[in-house]
Structure 1
Amino acid sequence: MAVATVDAEKQAALAELGQQLRVDAIRAADAAGSGHPTSSMSAADLMAVLLGNHLRYDFTATQNPGNDHLIFSKGHASPLLYAMFAAAGAIADDELLTFRRAGSRLEGHPTPQLPWVDVATGSLGQGLPIGVGLALAGRDLDQLGYRVWVLCGDSELAEGSMWEAFEHAGHARLDNLVAIVDVNRLGQRGPTRHGWDTAAYARRIAAFGWHTIEIDGHDVGEIDRAYTEALGSDRPTAILARTRKGKGVAAVEDKEGAHGKPLPDADEAIRELGGRRAIRVEVNAPDGNAAPPRPDTASLRIPAYEQGSEVATRTAFGEALEALGGVRSDVVALDGEVSDSTRLGYFARSHPERFFQCYIAEQQLVAAAVGMQVRGWVPYVSTFAAFLSRAYDFLRMAAISGASLRVVGSHAGVSIGEDGPSQMGLEDLAFFRALWRSAVLYPCDANQTAHLTAAIADRSGISYLRTTRGDTPVLYGPEETFPIGGSKVLRSSPGDRLTIVAAGITVPEALAAADRLAADGIAARVIDAYSVKPIDAATLHEAAADTGRVLTVEDHWPQGGLGDAVLDAFTQATSMPRVAKLGVLALPGSASPQEQLQHAGIDASAVVDGARALLSE
């Protein structure tokens, strides 16, 4: 059923396919006893025409580089997506009816557990920004002609991330991106902001440089012409389709209160839609000769720094990534308009063709990286640690997608100095630790940073590297190794009476404190826990057994950071050491970096006082 144009006979066939998609969405939700069939029914004709006439996709070869990409930004309409997979012959009818059951691949919202799904959706406002990343990859990195189609809901156009995406795509003139907006008027609890006023959406989207088309979303001829027009545009296209939620079933069509529920009488609804169909769609094949550029790789020689010198870890990150980009053409870098400060500018200078400026739009910044990694690229995302909180939902969903990202947060903690609390990342360790399958790394010196920057290139999942603004002493030689999940014991003796655990900026403070304590006859072990997650539990257990007392010190709120990571390492231990935590307790203001550490109670003097207090208990 692959067709190039739509005459009357083919229009009728596509209309029948739309009815089949509605029926199968109803059946799936009815079998599950939950789901969103009405949201699926409104977009059924839109997806029928796309599947039957315009999508280019080989369902038997999901890694074909020429395949188009379809993202259901309105992920709650998953019954429609699964009905499309059934119509394409990718899943059997028996599997369709396992929707939302334990162990089924057909989850309540789509995830890449299904090989035809690129990313997890369901948190509204994410599909289009990720689509921007895929479109950038297709045009600028893969240099292939695949299209990126994104089905959006009208409710999610209230999300700011959607407008970050519209702005970025319009500015970049991504003519390979099509947003299909299902304007069905009704949201979860009632009418949407603009209802069926597609012109209101069109004015706003066109202002960002998009080509816009307003159509009747149930007229297959109009839908087909809109898709054809979009394919000929030299700009991204938004198709604003006026639809009716629950289309085709009088009991729920354009009715409030039906959202997120199976139909009250599925059998009657199916009869009203003309009964079950068994249409199988022969989806258009992609360009069989398409192939992206093959990444070049070579042996890496990372920058080396002289012990005893002072270098900011942000600088070491920038220089290491620049070197990595020189030997790996699959590495890309994305900036939130702070590359001068984060030192991502070194990469931009040497590899401008793989550097992407996302401006002050952190949600789009992370989303673009998620889209690029779908195509096998290796993205490094960099901005101030504090600003990554704006994109946390995108990071959370990226983890659900199984995405591999390398996120670098600079200017972390009170040690940034005079800029004050608005610029200080003091929560970042906690929220990256909470992500599924994440690694959280906080290097203290330049050689450690360079090694870890390279190490995360081949790590799957989300890796977070925290860098420091100011210069710090180079403690390690360039020949040292720093495995993820490891630590370094910097001071140790058989007579150690307590263990000080530090990371990043607090490591030099811990060493200075240990020297002062040693001068008073108190031996202290010092551990550089540069891998905050996974943490080196074995080394911590050994130190606890030897010393009985553990003091943690971190440039972070006490909740969720290094101290809690250390405590977590003892949750199943047979014996528990005495543990005390030093962290930032009061809201900081403006002061010099050293004054900030002192005021926060995490400088060497505070560590000495904390050690004495712990020993006196």
Structure 2
Amino acid sequence: MNTEELGALGQQLRVDSVRAAAAAGSGHPTSSMSAADLVAVLFAHHLRYDFERPEHPANDRFVLSKGHASPLLYSAYKAAGAVEDGELLTFRKLGSRLEGHPTPRRLPWVETATGSLGQGLPVGVGIALAGKRLDRADYRVWVLCGDSELAEGSIWEAAEHASYEHLDNLTAIVDVNRLGQRGPTRHGHDLDAYARRFQAFGWHTIQIDGHDVDKIDRAYGEAISTTGQPTVILARTLKGKGVAAVEDREGLHGKPLPDADEAIAELGGPRDLRVRVSEPSAAAVLRSATTDAVRLPRYDLGDEVATRDAFGAALAALGTARGDVVALDGEVGDSTRTEEFGKEHPDRFFECYIAEQQLVAAAVGLATRGWVPYASTFAAFLSRAHDFVRMASISGSGINLVGSHAGVAIGQDGPSQMGLEDLAMFRSVYGSTVLYPCDANQTARLVAQMAGLDGIRYLRTSRGKDPVIYGPDEEFPVGGSKVLRSGEHDRLTVVAAGVTVHEALAAADRLAQDGIAVRVIDLYSVKPVDAETLSRAAEETGCLMTVEDHHEQGGLGDAVAEAFGDGRPVPRLVRLAVRTMPGSAAPDEQLHAAGIDAAGIEAAAKLLVEEAVVR
């Protein structure tokens, strides 16, 4: 397209954005109008994409980080022939693929769900990492950001990581339209302010008039030709560009235009221009990843092994068997044990340093390209990335997250390092799987199973060593549990997971000496939960007692209680959990202080069966 045609295409994208929002009675047309010329030039001249084959390995990847500008994205899809005009006008309506913020669950051309600002660029970094280090393909990643989201810390985690990795296949386009939701942004139209920040992180910066299509075209060409560093294009634009009643005016964010018909006429009326997006290179071929039988580590009964150690060994073994498995860590690989994977498969190991938002975002980006990521850090620190986990679920992303150093059992480090909310956090995520193994063989088996699951998968590992209680050939189906002590005279059931399994077994043995039979269930699958086994235990013993190294809200106790939410009779349910703020102490002292060690379980059980004794 020549200059005039590119300008006309930009106007068409504005008109269609206005039309879509007007039909919906809601939306963000003014935010779409500011970036219309940027998208027009990108789709017409620089994006290489086969809309008939969104899975094509050589396709460029476009991420709309400012997801509220979805009318612009859908209007571009219409111009590219992927969406018809009739569908465009179903925007935001029940059953429409064209949601208020785009998601890949609905549209195959969307890379990741956006709308929680500050996430598109970090995920784009993950996609670019796949292209640069794994796929070794020449596809480019284009990320369109808004200026408001540059206030998010995750943007700068991404900026530093992209520069550190020399991601010259990544281009960020910032639509600097000056206005946020409630008024001016922090830096307004001061492009120099943004440029200084990106330059400090090692980016190549380009400043342009975001409504001059020739300058936009040259800027994209410069970005493509830049090597050794990522590029950011800082484009000065006007929100609501082209319509005098709304252009560069406050108070119109997230609202349809007051008079859509008048605005459309002012923009030159509806058009039906079609843009032929360039096809990707035909030379690219689908990646072939090796998949062999997994030779998991095997541990002998009675061995003292930390589940984090078993995780590291199992992950390395899984990486040997499967060429599509990758590992990421937040600079604690010597503690989480992902360093074992890094030593054996350095080409598939990604060090994300102390940047947990970027850690999870990179995993999401890698997953979009067909890789199977395992991302690890301390369980407590994954809470910093909860919003990225939530958005990954909305995307339908398949990622494995592993949190080590969970609970008060870590000991002297104190509460800042103790993951005591992680089970609740991950259980609340839509479609998630939550696993909490208690021994090394169980851990190894679950690590391997995670690779084949859908959605968000979370594995909780422990710092201290515990005895191996399962043989290396034992099976642990997701959604299952293990009954470790059972008899026809059981008077209550203790439900535990992870470190508390061993405490529960010790308590059961001591109670047996006093003639009190107690059933013990290892509920290693916290979500989905084994409702059938729990129901049978409730019927046969009359009382369930959960024991967890976690706060009482949202963890094991709630998982068990919810198993009886289908209308069946609810048994007597007692919960032992961490109810006070722990300090620094030895692991056994921590468990005792929380009342979740063998002594605490024994005392609670005797009270429940009304056989408390004074020794």
Instruction: Please point out which of 537, 558, 562 is paired with 1:564.
Output: 558
Cross-structure match for 2:67:
75
Compute the displacement of 1:615 (Å): 2.2
Q: Report whether the alignment pairs 1:207 with 2:228.
A: no
Cross-structure match for 2:226:
233
State how far apart, in whole Å, the 2-side matches of 1:479 and 1:114 are: 42
Alignment of 1:243-282 (within 5 A): 243-282=237-276
Q: Report whether the alignment pairs 1:160 with 2:153.
A: yes
Q: Is the 8 A contact 1:26 1:37 kept in 2?
A: yes
Q: Is the 8 A contact 1:144 1:291 kept in 2?
A: no
- Letter of the 2:97 partner, please give it: R
Instruction: Please point out which of 84, 104, 119 is paired with 2:112.
Output: 119
Q: Report whether the alignment pairs 1:530 with 2:557.
A: no
State how far apart, in whole Å, the 1-side matches of 2:483 and 2:387 are: 36
Q: Report whether the alignment pairs 1:90 with 2:106.
A: no
**Which deviations, in whole Å up to 9, do the C-alpha atoms of 1:390-415 show, x marking residues without a partner?**
00000000000000010000000000
State how far apart, in whole Å, the 1-side matches of 2:303 and 2:80 are: 62
Q: Is the 8 A contact 1:382 1:407 kept in 2?
A: yes
**Which deviations, in whole Å up to 9, do the C-alpha atoms of 1:480-534 show, x marking residues without a partner?**
0000000000000011110000000000000011111111111110000000000
Cross-structure match for 1:545:
539
Instruction: Please point out which of 101, 121, 124 is paired with 2:93.
Output: 101
Alignment of 1:421-440 (within 5 A): 421-440=415-434
Equivalent position SS for 2:551: coil
Cross-structure match for 1:335:
329
Q: Report whether the alignment pairs 1:385 with 2:366.
A: no
State how far apart, in whole Å, the 1-side matches of 2:12 and 2:567 are: 57
Compute the displacement of 1:563 (Å): 0.4
Instruction: Please point out which of 162, 165, 175 is paired with 2:168.
Output: 175
Cross-structure match for 1:34:
26
Cα-Cα RMSD: 0.7
Compute the displacement of 1:575 (Å): 1.3
Cross-structure match for 2:483:
489
Compute the displacement of 1:613 (Å): 2.2
Q: How many residues align?
A: 609
Equivalent position SS for 2:220: helix
Q: Is the 8 A contact 1:142 1:292 kept in 2?
A: no
Compute the displacement of 1:118 (Å): 1.1
Q: Report whether the alignment pairs 1:417 with 2:398.
A: no
- Letter of the 1:15 partner, please give it: G
- Letter of the 1:204 partner, please give it: R
Q: Report whether the alignment pairs 1:314 with 2:304.
A: no
Cross-structure match for 1:13:
5
State how far apart, in whole Å, the 2-side matches of 1:599 and 1:430 are: 22
State how far apart, in whole Å, the 2-side matches of 1:369 and 1:616 are: 51
Equivalent position SS for 1:458: coil
Compute the displacement of 1:289 (Å): 1.6
**Which deviations, in whole Å up to 9, do the C-alpha atoms of 1:149-188 show, x marking residues without a partner?**
0000000000000000000001111000000000000000
Cross-structure match for 1:498:
492
Equivalent position SS for 1:525: strand
Cross-structure match for 1:64:
56
State how far apart, in whole Å, the 1-side matches of 2:601 and 2:554 are: 20
Structure 2: where are the runs of 5+ without partners? none
State how far apart, in whole Å, the 2-side matches of 1:138 and 1:612 are: 60
Q: Report whether the alignment pairs 1:48 with 2:40.
A: yes
State how far apart, in whole Å, the 2-side matches of 1:207 and 1:123 are: 25
Instruction: Please point out which of 282, 289, 293 is paired with 1:288.
Output: 282
Q: Report whether the alignment pairs 1:135 with 2:124.
A: no
Instruction: Please point out which of 276, 279, 298 is paired with 2:292.
Output: 298
State how far apart, in whole Å, the 1-side matches of 2:36 and 2:265 are: 17
State how far apart, in whole Å, the 2-side matches of 1:118 and 1:293 are: 18
Equivalent position SS for 1:240: strand
Compute the displacement of 1:616 (Å): 3.1
Instruction: Please point out which of 491, 501, 504 is paired with 1:507.
Output: 501
Cross-structure match for 2:578:
584
Compute the displacement of 1:292 (Å): 4.5
Cross-structure match for 1:593:
587
Q: Is the 8 A contact 1:120 1:400 kept in 2?
A: yes
Instruction: Please point out which of 221, 226, 232 is paired with 2:214.
Output: 221
**Which deviations, in whole Å up to 9, do the C-alpha atoms of 1:407-448 show, x marking residues without a partner?**
000000000000000000000000000001100000000000
State how far apart, in whole Å, the 1-side matches of 2:219 and 2:351 are: 31
Cross-structure match for 2:365:
371
State how far apart, in whole Å, the 1-side matches of 2:517 and 2:388 are: 46
Instruction: Please point out which of 343, 354, 359 is paired with 1:349.
Output: 343
Equivalent position SS for 2:232: strand
Equivalent position SS for 2:578: coil
Cross-structure match for 1:196:
189
**Which deviations, in whole Å up to 9, do the C-alpha atoms of 1:312-350 show, x marking residues without a partner?**
000000000000101111000001000000110000000
Q: Report whether the alignment pairs 1:404 with 2:404.
A: no
Q: Is the 8 A contact 1:144 1:292 kept in 2?
A: no
- Range with greater deviation from structure 2 (516-525 or 211-220): 516-525
Equivalent position SS for 2:537: helix
Equivalent position SS for 1:616: coil
Instruction: Please point out which of 471, 476, 482 is paired with 2:470.
Output: 476
Cross-structure match for 1:6:
none
State how far apart, in whole Å, the 1-side matches of 2:568 and 2:241 are: 61
- For normalisation by structure 1, the TM-score amounts to 0.98
